[in-house]
Every structure is written in structure tokens, then in C-alpha cells.
Amino acid sequence: SSQNEQDTRHFARQANIPLFEPSNPQEIKDFIHYAYDISDKFNIPVIIRTTTRVSHMRGIVETDQYTKNTINCGEYKDNGLHVPVPEAARIMHKNLVEKISQIREISNNSPLNRIIDNGSDIGIIASGGAYNYVSDVVRQNDLKVNILKIGFSHPFPEELVKTFLEANEEVLVVEEVDPINEIETLAVAGKYNINTKIHGKRDATLPEIFEYTPDVIFDALMNLLSFEDTRDAPNELSTIALPSRPATLCSGCPHRASYYAAREAINSLRLDIESIHPSDIGCYTLGIAPPYKMANYLMSMGASIGTSCGFSKSTENQPIISFIGDSTFFHAGIPPLINAVHNKTKFTLVILDNRITAMTGGQTNPGIPIDGMGEEAPEISIEALVKSIGIDFVRKINPLNVKEMVDIYKEALEYDGVSVIIAKYPCNLINKEGIRNRDYKIVVDHDKCVHCKLCVNKLACPSINEIDGKITIDQVCNKCSVCTEVCPTNAIHKE
């Protein structure tokens, strides 16, 4: 959820700590072991950098015999360096430089960095997920090139790269996204006066933006090697445009009801100016899409509240409804909410409490009575927390009660100050038993249906479709019943 296409490898260079770039599931497991060993030996943090495609890969992984970590660190002892006052900071900087110097030698000889010598005078330096594309293109086209695979990329394996450059007349550096390894490689060539031609992003052999694909690598290598293109020619099927599949909230997601109600409340004001909707990081970011358009400003976790403060002070008469999830609220939303009250701002904050951190895999948060280990834990009340800050307008509601939700939104928008609505209902992913216990189904009475299409165009639930001129309910319906409240003729109802 970055504001731009960021290359997180810069953080390792800025902090001067080791960086590892696995290319597949097996390497992710192996590199983590290796990285822990480096971290333990040198008492230094490390970064494991995976990109989206590497994280989404599947494969068989050979595991070790795991045992529960029973290491007892014992008594904490003060070495005088845990408080970085200037004197300690100077010592720590000296220690860091010495550590990195030693780790650089390890990087030069690490099995994570290896040369695949195919007896060519053309070489490719590749790292991370980009190596997979290089490997595929080279194998599928039977290309004779040497490859330097870099998995331990900071400190940069200067000696190994020097050896590789000296053995090749031309080298292509393949990496995502910024030309970090390329710049390091150019520096090595300059330092040792090596005349190898180095290609990559800097000479426009490869694009400087976006992730790569095998075709991108194919085209770059075609320019360098001039081999025969044996790829299958495009056929009729390849020219057919794929249907649009935009990301959407799940069927029966409580966030959809919260957004629908907010849009209805805003529309009822009949304003000639736009409403402002700072949003945050989570499934609910999908509120950006029509028909809700309930996200028009997003920066980082917790920023929905802080930016609402800014909009409140810098705009006039524009209604502000911001959204934040329960997990994000606990993580980064409390300090800016305190600031909002203290500085007398006016906006409505909707805390979308779906009882879980849904988008990233169902992790817990302090608002539920289970900790990260699955054990019983104290539950922190969002409602009590918000009231303790000094906010008087606090309403907690089941967002599936859409009509009541619309009324609360209208009331909140009239309130002169910070108003908070806690939309509390569990995510479908943790409410499967509750869904199974709904002993009814949602049906459409076509005699009552007037084809107004509010259910399709304004609610936009993926379970509701128009087929052959008739509104139908798909089998993926979770029976949340929101559509029964939205339908103006009661054509959609429980049965």
C-alpha cells in the first residue's frame, strides 16, 4: 500500500545492515536460516526482501527438523551502548563499520551469491524475483550466457562482481525496481578500470519502472544476443480482451454496508461540493471504487485521522468522513485522534471493527480477547478508549442495519466536533459458523421487482447480478440481508 513503487532495498543501505533477496519458496526458508546466523554472529538486524511475485510463489520446500527455541537470554546487562547519546553513538558507528567490513567478506564468499559459468563472454547479474525470469528465458531459448545470481546483496559482493566482470565482455544487470545493483556494478567497473560494457536501466536496455516479465527480459536479451525468436506466434485467442476483474469486497462484507450507508447520508445533504474521505490501510481501501467512492486520500497506516485533522482546518463546509480499521486504529490511530480532539477539529471517524486483521491473514489485535499465540488475553474496548480521549459523540452499531446506520451518519455529520462511529461486525472469514446458522436464503420476487437496479448499481454486491433482464442472487451469497433493506419494493427478501 505504498504511495509509489518503492524499492525497499534502499533501507538496508541507509541503515547499513545485511540484505537478502530470495527468489523462490525454498530460498525464503533457507535464507531466513542464513540471515539469523549472520544476525546472531554479528549482533545486527537483517532484512529479507521479497517482492510480490516471490511471495505469491508456490513450491515444495524441504524443511529441517525444527525444535522449539529454548534459548534463555538470561539477565539483561547494560553495556553502556543501549542509550544512543553522542558518546555511545560514535562507538556504535565504529562497531557497525567494522561489522559490515567483516560481513562484506562473507558476502563475497557466500553460497547465496553464485556464478553459473556457461563458457560465454556475455553475462547476466540477477537478483530476487528477476532471476526467475532470466532463468526461464535462458533455459527456454537455450541461450549460452553466464549468470551471477545475487542473493546476499548488501554488503555488495564487490570481489565476486569484479571477477564476473573481468570474465565477460558485456553484462546485463537485471533487478526490480531501482538500479541499485547496477550502480554498484558500475562503481566496481570504474574502481578497477574494467572495460566490460554494462547494460541495464541506466542505458534504457531495461525499463526503470514496474515489475518485470519474461517478455521484458526476452526483449532485452534479444537486443544483446540476436537469437531466433521461437515463441509461439499470436493467435486469435491471444487478441481477445480479458474481462475486467477489479478487486472488490467479499460478498456480505460489513464494510460494504458501512460505505453504502455513508454514501446515502452524504447524498441526502444535496451539497454542491464534494465530500472528503481519508481512508487507511486494509480491505476497506477498496472503498475507493465506484459506486461508493469512499476513499479519496490515503497515505499510510493511521494517516486517515491525521489528514482529516488537516482537511478540517483547511477546508470549509466540506463534510469529512474518514475510515480506519480496528487493527490500524490500535496500531497508529490513537495519537492522531487525541490530536484531533485537542485541536478542536470537526469530522466523522468510522472505525470499521471487523474483529480481525483480515487483509494480511487474520492476525489478532488488542480489540479481541485472543493474543497472537491464540491464548486468552484482555480485550481492549475501542468504545471506552475513544470516550476516554474526550469524544462525546460515540455510536456503536452493527453496520448491516443499514437504515439505522444512515441515520447515525446524518447525526454525526451535524455534530460540531469529532464524532466516532464504531461499525462492529465480524469479517466473514472468522464468522463462518454464524453464516451457516442463518437458516434462510435471500430470494428475488420478480413480480415485485421494478428493475430499478439499486441493488446492482448502488450496493454493488458481487452476489447480485442481472442475467437476461432479471435480478439474480448468486450462490456465493452469505445472506447478510443488506440487500433486503436496500430494495425499495421488498422484491429482495428472506425466505
pLDDT mean across residues, the chain:
93
The pLDDT tens digits of the residues spanning 237-266 come to: 667 787 888 889 999 999 999 999 999 999
Note whether residue 50 is domain-resident.
yes
Note whether residue 138 is domain-resident.
yes
Provide the 10 A C-beta neighbour count for residue 255: 27
Question: Same domain for 311 and 423?
Answer: yes
Handedness of CA 31, 32, 36, 42 (dihedral sign): positive
Residue 209 DSSP label: S
The pLDDT tens digits of the residues spanning 465-483 come to: 999 999 999 999 999 999 9
Question: Same domain for 218 and 277?
Answer: no
Handedness of CA 333, 335, 338, 344 (dihedral sign): negative
Note whether residue 188 is domain-resident.
yes
User: What is the span of the domain harbouring residue 359?
Assistant: 254-433
What CATH number does the domain containing 474 carry? Answer: 3.30.70.20
Note whether residue 233 is domain-resident.
no
Question: Same domain for 337 and 320?
Answer: yes
Question: Same domain for 138 and 121?
Answer: yes
Percent of the chain with pLDDT over 90: 82
> Can you give the pLDDT at residue 160?
97
Question: Same domain for 203 and 160?
Answer: yes
Note whether residue 3 is domain-resident.
no
Q: Which three cell numbers stand for residue 444?
A: 428475488
The pLDDT tens digits of the residues spanning 5-37 come to: 789 999 999 999 999 999 999 999 999 999 999
Question: Same domain for 101 and 117?
Answer: no
Question: Same domain for 442 and 406?
Answer: no
Question: Same domain for 287 and 375?
Answer: yes
What CATH number does the domain containing 382 carry? Answer: 3.40.50.970
What is the distance of C-alpha 85 from the center of its chain?
35
> Can you give the pLDDT at residue 1?
57
Percent of the chain with pLDDT over 70: 97
Q: pTM for the whole thing?
A: 0.87
Note whether residue 172 is domain-resident.
yes
Question: Same domain for 409 and 480?
Answer: no
Helices and strands, number each (H, E), in the chain: 17, 16
What CATH number does the domain containing 196 carry? Answer: 3.40.50.920
Question: Same domain for 327 and 266?
Answer: yes
DSSP 3-state of 151: coil
The pLDDT tens digits of the residues spanning 192-234 come to: 999 999 999 999 999 999 999 999 999 999 988 878 787 777 7
Contact between 356 and 429 under an 8 Å Cβ cutoff? The reply is: yes
Please count the structural domains in the chain.
4
Phi, psi of 296 (to 5 degrees): -130, 10
Question: Same domain for 284 and 417?
Answer: yes
> Can you give the pLDDT at residue 310?
96
The pLDDT tens digits of the residues spanning 364-390 come to: 999 999 998 889 999 999 999 999 999
